[in-house]
Amino acid sequence: MSLTDKNVGEWLDSNPSFLSKYIENAPEDVVKSLGLKKANDPGKLSSVAKNVMASKLLKKYLHGDREINKVASNIIAASKLDGMNENDVFMELVRDIASELDVNVLCHKILRNVSLLTKSDRGSLFLARGTVDHKYLVSKLFDVTQTSTLEESLHTEETEIKVPFGTGIAGHVALTKETVNIKEAYDDPRFNQAVDKKTGYRTHSILCMPILNQHGEVIGVAQIINKIFGSHEFVAKDIDIFKQYLTFCGIGIMNAQLFEMSIKEYQRNQLLLNLARGIFEEQTRLQQLVQKIMLDAQQLLKCERCSVYLLSDFSAEMSFEFSEENESVAEKTYASVDDIKFSTVFVLSEKGDGNIEIPSAGDIATSQNTKVSKVVVFEKTPMNIPDLEFESRFGSTHFVDNSGFKSRSILCVPIFNSKMEIIGATQLINKSSGMAFNENDENIIEAFSIFTGLGIHNCLMYENVCKLMAKQKVALEVLSYHASASDEETKQLAKADLPSAKVWGLYKYEFDDFEMDEFDTCRAVVRMFCEIGAMEKFKVPYDVLCRWTLTVRKNYRPVIYHNWRHAFNVFQSMFTIMFTGNLAKAFDDIEIFAVLAACLCHDLDHRGTNNAFQVKAASPLATLYSTSVMEHHHFDHCIMILNSNGNNIFKTLSKDNYQKALSVLEHAIISTDLALYFKKRNDFKAYLEQGIKDFKPPERREVLTAMMMTACDVAAICKPWEIQFRTAQLVASEFFEQGDMEKDVLGENPIAMMDREKQDQLPKMQVGFIDFICMPVYKLFSELDPALNPLYEGCLNNRKHWQQLADGEAAKR
């Protein structure tokens, strides 16, 4: 990390107590070597010393240019001590540690110097860790000799040994603060002989002593083994020297730890500032923002996987805040953990490629990791699980997801927005070192999550503003083009005679609207609504039904195929399979009413281009809707018509039935997106293969509704050949127009079915469409009820005709 003298000086100004404590505890000659004087005024001290300290102490640590292999040059050679008396040797070794602020180097010097002073063979040093209720020792350095290097002796987080207070010799010393001098280790039951057996070394004598701070608290334990000369035993003089030296060591360790904590705090603050800078630079795209956040978190805390969970309620609130009323909502409260739902989860995996994955709603709901995030959101507090095998709340077992990834330890914290409302949770899984997350990790990620919440909140606000602008643009465009039906048109339809459904053949699969004019199709729509008893059952005013029908017709653009005629035919097909095909028995009256309305509205304001074109052209619709672009627009347009004066055919329904009708309406319209068709078809097939034909349960009925919408949307493929051929020509013409626009406007080559230059391949493409899309769904419906078999038979018949044409074209070539 690069740092200037000015940065360090500012840091020292804000931490005068550190300098004061360090220099007051350091020997006089060390202070003089730095050009400083002991002072009672910490502020004055920092002012005088900051430039010297910046250059001589802090910069080399913050620049990270101290490498372990350079440390050996700073160690006092044993030959230098030859000829000195005991006091001079002692003071020389005290000076050696007085100015050392690197904890690892300091501990190494302490053990090496103790070996020189006591003529011991080797030593180990343990530092105290943990809370008041759970204290333990960690082996910072192990088996240090007079010649061993720091790199050889240093224990990392992965290799360090943990010794609880009261366990073993070192643990006993830490707990009792007593000095332990063992003349023969093998005679002491506290000594673990397994280490000797593993290394081949023979331990004879042990001298173990606590290292205390100025408050008399244990901050570490030092242990030396085997006198080199004469007997292996340590005598009273060794104990006295060891004790005196460890007094200075306690001061040095405290200073070094204080310095290490200050450095870590500074680095943490710098990382958080960098994070904040990055977060507020990226406010246009949520996914990219979250990706940056998770990459920073993963690098900062060295974990295998990172996930960000966003609450469903938060997304709804963000939309609400930009509604007409512009009033904020109170923070959501949950009765139980199960009430919590996440709309989106971003996962940065252990693969290391920096890419994020977005699990499906089903995967989110069934994930065991999701349960942890739910608990954190519900309790509004962080959760650190060192080992899931010992966490009874989550089954006392490691989590294993579908990819085989195993979650062993988890650190999860809530994410708050600027109003301190919970909007989600950040979850870190498995430290790369294999250790559990510690208190320092908790502090870092909690501060991290504050910036995360602010960044996500601002990003979503920006997205909502963009969507509102796009929505406004779309609405102005729509309103400028469309209008509601006039009173004169409504009265004309309301007074018109309605032939019976039988006269028009509305219950027949082979129904043909070719001879009907536009007004006749509107009369036929009203007739079919009369057949289901819309006026009697739902108290729909007759003039409202007529006005709504005419308004829906008026809100279709005069494109070649996806126009009012197509919507009318889909409506009639749904009416037929409901009542001739016996599918109405799976639905109640409200659902039948809503599904039929959905059919008539399912392509409202269609522009003659598909979703892919909208996305490639970066249209306002593509900005407004991220998935199922046109289908979401059709539904929103349907709602706009219902909300316009005199057009709400659901107005007389109760509040619950009104919400139910809109829910069915939305599901049915969105289901016409063929991108969603394949999964639903697999679900439908699975039900039938299990012998299930009862589709009244809600989850089955949703699948059935989706399949019915697709079956009716492409039902022209089942009509008599003359109707099918005529319809296919219309579809192809509209596709070719889109292909022309892709060439002229976007500068791209269209796919074959939209390429006018490949129209001779239409029969072959129709066969492929039938085999891939149509035949499977109609075959399933024929298995569901024999009354639906005419759809399948009609599809088979038309396939034969298209195949004959395709074979003829092939023969010509």
Write out the catalytic residue numbers. Answer: 562
Q: Are 337 and 375 in contact (CB under 8 A)?
A: yes
Residue 28 CA to residue 34 CA, distance in Å, equals 10
User: Which of 731, 711, 493 has the alpha carbon at shortest distance from 595?
Assistant: 711
Category of 780 on φ-ψ map: left (φ > 0), alpha (ψ -120 to 50) or beta? alpha
For helices 86-98 and 103-118, give the axis angle rounded to 10 degrees.
170
Residues in the chain: 813
DSSP designation for 772: I
Please give the distance of CA 23 from its chain centroid, rounded to a whole number.
Answer: 48
Between the CA of residue 703 and those of 29, 126, 250, 739, what are the distances in Å?
84, 64, 72, 33
Phi-psi category of residue 665: left, alpha or beta, with phi > 0 → left and psi -120 to 50 → alpha: alpha
- Is 187 strand, coil or helix? helix
Our measurement of the distance from residue 589's CA atom to the centroid of its chain's CA atoms, rounded to an integer in Å, reads 41
Query: What whole-number distance in Å separates Cα of residue 288 and Cα of residue 399?
Result: 28
Structure tokens that stand for 198 in this block: 């593993």
CA 42 vs CA 408, 456, 467, 775: distances in Å: 47, 42, 56, 86
Residue listed under structure tokens 């080199």? 228
What is the residue whose two structure tokens read 């499906």?
360
Residue 586 exposure: Cα atoms within 13 Å on the Cβ side: 23
DSSP letter for each residue of 229-242:
SSSS---HHHHHHH
Q: ∠ CA(74), CA(75), CA(76), 5° rounding?
A: 120
Give 25-42 as a 3 state SS string. Answer: HCCHHHHHHCCCCCCCCH
Do residues 202 and 193 touch, judged by C-beta distance below 8 A? no
Give, in degrees to the nearest 5, the angle at Cα 160 between 141 and 26: 40
CA geometry: angle 621, 627, 630, nearest 5 deg: 45
What does the DSSP 8-state code read for residue 652? Answer: T
Report the alpha-carbon distance of residue 438 to residue 386 in Å, rounded.
9
Q: How far apart are CA 534 and CA 593, in angstroms?
A: 7
- Measured at the alpha carbon of residue 198, what is the angle toward residues 195 and 202, in degrees to the nearest 5? 65
**How far from chain centre, in Å, is Cα 459?**
15
- Which neighbouring-strand residues pair with 125? 141, 222
Q: What is the CA radius of gyration of the chain?
A: 39
Q: CA 383, CA 568: separation in Å to the nearest integer?
A: 57
Q: How far apart, in whole angstroms, are the C-alpha atoms of residue 581 and residue 690?
A: 21
**Between the CA atoms of 443, 444, 449 and 450, what dihedral angle is there, to the nearest 10 degrees?**
80
What is the β-pairing status of strands 180-182 and 356-357? unpaired
Quick one: how many helices (H) and strands (E) in the chain? 33, 14
Tokens of 513: 């609207």
- Going by C-alpha positions, the residue among 595, 770, 613 that lies closest to residue 671 is 595
Residue 682 neighbours by CB under 8 Å, 6+ apart? none
C-beta separation of 340 from 334 below 8 A: yes
8 Å CB contact between 611 and 625: no
Beta strands 399-400 and 206-212: pairing type? Answer: unpaired
